[in-house]
Chains A and B, each alone.
Chain A
Amino acid sequence: MNVPAIRVESLVKRYGSLAAVDNISFTVQKGEIFAFLGPNGAGKTTTVEILECLRKATSGHAYVLGFDVGKDGREIKKRIGVLPQDFNSFDLLTVKETIEYYAAMFGAKVDAVRLVRLVDLMDKKDAYFKNLSGGLKQRLGVAVALVNDPEVLFLDEPTAGLDPNARHEVWNVIRGLKQQGKTVFLTTHYMEEAEVLADVVIIIHRGKIVAEGTPEELIHKYGKRNFLVLKKIDRSSVPVVEGMGLEVGYDEVKGEIQVHLNQHSGISEILQALAVKNIGFGELELKHSSLEDVFLNLTGEKLSVEVEAE
């Protein structure tokens, strides 16, 4: 029988009256990149720390590679790799020494140089940890998470606080892990990260799972499909488009309308209707729904501001 990488059943974690994790259940199959998506404080880190045997659940069950997190901590720890949020290590150990230190903790003989090369840190292998940039530290964190050749990797906000270039470097490393057949449990509040990397996404909000599926399934099911943006356009365009049975929003500040497209009215019909009324516009842009929209639609809240700002 094929044991799933992770199985969670009715998991609850309470702090007093607050349910940080509120009766969640899900399964992660081996070899998947599984994204746990939600804003800060949604319960992602609490869940992942229960799976890493660092916290005790209030109730429910969780299994990693068939081992019970409440009873088999030592067995689980031998088989998983963890990149904690904001990975930190000993300031005055070098990159290579840090990998060797953690390998020794697992009793593993590791080719440190191979791991250094895997995360593209060869030119920094003798640099002290304290002298690495945020992105390099995270890449070292990924290498450290691999010292025991784990079957399951938990990557908690692996790119939080990184600049776009560093983020893409870490993404490349994570893609490489999937190619090696590793199961990756990724927690993130960056929708783009989940969208780009994940095979399966779970959206968690205030401790509860609000949606589960592939990114495409979620966007199709909960996104508002594509929408058309017309810039430098007069407000008089709004009733014209609404008259076509379309949902439309007008941004007074930017002077633009956003039209949610449906299967019945295409772009050409809209443009034609505006031309008939002699309403002109500056630019035209076609946008696609994303997990951000999915989250907004499901919870009424925005998931992430930082990615958009970048």
Chain B
Amino acid sequence: MNRVLVDLLASLRLYFRNRTTLFWSIAFPCILIILFGAIFSYSTTSYDLYVQNMDVENGQATPVSMLLIEALNVTRAFSIKPVEASVNATQYAIDNKLSALLVIPEGFQNETLAANFTHGVVSSQLTLIYDQSSTTGLTTLSIVRGVVNEFDLQFSSRPHYIVTQPQTIAPGRFSFIDFFVPGVVGIGAMTLSIFGAVEINTRYRENGILHKIATTPLTRIEWIVSKTIFRILMSFFSMGIIIIVGVLVFGVKVMVDPVSALMVAACSMLFSGIGMILSRFVRDADAADSAANAVTFPMMVLSGSFFPLEMMPPFIRSIATVLPLTYVNNGLRDAMIYGNQLSAAYDTALIVALGVVVLIVGSFITKWEED
């Protein structure tokens, strides 16, 4: 155990003495947050709009509600997707990770006609349930309000008889950047761990340090344990930097709890193991670095770290379901943003299990002795 501690302290000392490494490990997540955060804060696009029409008479949607849906449809901003009137709209939106769901309430037609008749003394109300973590949620809210106002004007010649009440899926008031932070935390833990493992197992092998270490009583397992703990600590360090920058620059509101910390540790273990496996088969240091890039870069893009998965075509969404970073992102967002600890715990348990298995495989195939 003392050997593990000594090696861990040496690793920390080397890390903090290497100013280039230190600079980039701080700068990289900061650049990601500032750059992508700024981009996504202003991006616009159009997506699916789910509509639950509860204004039904004699089994048929009322004419006014149909007119409203048609008004939304003709904008071509949305692909309208009907939702059964019997489901709980908010739960449905959460369960299906929808960006926006418009609820047309029962009696909408009557209230709209009454509003017109009473010149706005009575108003009618629509509810738009949306996900602020998605850029599409905010955009959808904006477009729906515009269409409803236009519909209001055409129908009554006066605005604001019909009110669109926004209802967010996540608790509290979050901006998009709040939701982006967990993605960067996941990327930080992934890149630190996979590249760290590749570096140790290829460069140290090439320059003979592993050879020398192997002549001491330090066991391979002690070495791997020490390096894994080191990369977990560095992932926490990166997480802290990301959250501090997020708070200072964008005023993010995220929660750090044991589940999110466990997820970061599990993510670090998983990608340390993947790095060890890569460096076993790709023994040249530069080639192994490229292999690690080949693993991490597509994963960053395809697992919803930068771009909401609902923006992706269906085949990419199906790819995302087999990428571990997807579950890291989902788990961290559930824990840090939504406060959905149960769902976060599920994803975390998955990554812990996968991390342990991959780390064991990586440890097993990492060799000091030559053939």
Interface residues of A, Cβ cutoff 8 Å to B: 49, 52-56, 74, 77-78, 80, 82, 84-93, 97, 101-102, 104-107, 144
Contacts and interface: CB of A to CB of B under 8 A. Distances in A.
A93 B212 contact: no
A101 B10 contact: yes
A93 B368 CA distance: 22
Contacts of B14: 90-93
A14 to B, nearest CB: 11
B208 interface: yes
A84 B17 contact: no
Sorted nearest first, the 8 A-B pairs with minimum C-beta distance are A104-B6, A82-B215, A105-B216, A92-B17, A88-B208, A88-B207, A105-B218, A55-B370
Contacts of B216: 77, 102, 105-106
B357 interface: no
Contacts of A77: 215-217
B10 A93 contact: yes
A49 B217 contact: no
B111 to A, nearest CB: 72
Contacts of B217: 74, 77-78, 105-107
B203 to A, nearest CB: 10
21 contacts: A52-B215, A54-B368, A74-B217, A77-B216, A84-B208, A86-B208, A88-B209, A90-B209, A92-B13, A92-B17, A93-B10, A93-B14, A97-B10, A97-B13, A101-B10, A104-B6, A105-B6, A107-B2, A107-B3, A107-B217, A144-B212
Describe A's contact surface by its main secondary structure: loop
* Residue among A55, A90, A105, A107 with most chain B CB within 10 A: A105
Given A84-B208, A90-B209, 20 more contacts: A52-B215, A53-B369, A80-B215, A82-B215, A84-B212, A84-B215, A86-B208, A88-B209, A89-B209, A90-B10, A90-B14, A92-B14, A101-B6, A101-B7, A104-B2, A104-B3, A105-B6, A105-B216, A105-B217, A106-B217
B213 interface: yes
Contacts of B119: none
A53 B214 CA distance: 9
A54 B209 contact: no
A290 B187 CA distance: 63
Nearest to A156: B211
Contacts of A80: 215
A88 B203 CA distance: 11
Given A80-B215, A82-B215, A56 B369 contact: yes
Contacts, number: 69
Interface of B: 2-3, 6-7, 10, 13-14, 17-18, 207-209, 211-218, 368-371
Nearest to A85: B208
B13 A54 contact: no
Contacts of A144: 212
A49 B208 contact: no
A76 to B, nearest CB: 10
B263 to A, nearest CB: 31
B201 to A, nearest CB: 15
Nearest to B206: A88
Contacts of A82: 212, 215
Contacts of B215: 52, 54, 77, 80, 82, 84
Nearest to A56: B369
A82 B216 CA distance: 9
Contact of A87 (B208, B214, B370): B208
B2 A54 contact: no
Contacts of A105: 3, 6-7, 213, 216-218
A105 B214 CA distance: 10
Contacts of A104: 2-3, 6
Nearest to A101: B10
B1 to A, nearest CB: 11
B17 A88 contact: no
A244 B231 CA distance: 78
A89 B212 contact: yes
Contacts of A87: 208, 212
Nearest to A128: B17
Contacts of A93: 10, 13-14
Given A80-B215, A85-B208, A92 B2 contact: no
Contacts of B370: 49, 54-55
Contact of B371 (A56, A89, A92, A97): A56
Contacts of A53: 369
Contacts of A49: 370
Contacts of B3: 104-105, 107
Nearest to A105: B216
A72 to B, nearest CB: 12
Contacts of B2: 104, 107
A125 to B, nearest CB: 16
* Residue among B18, B216, B218 with most chain A CB within 10 A: B216
Contacts of B13: 92-93, 97
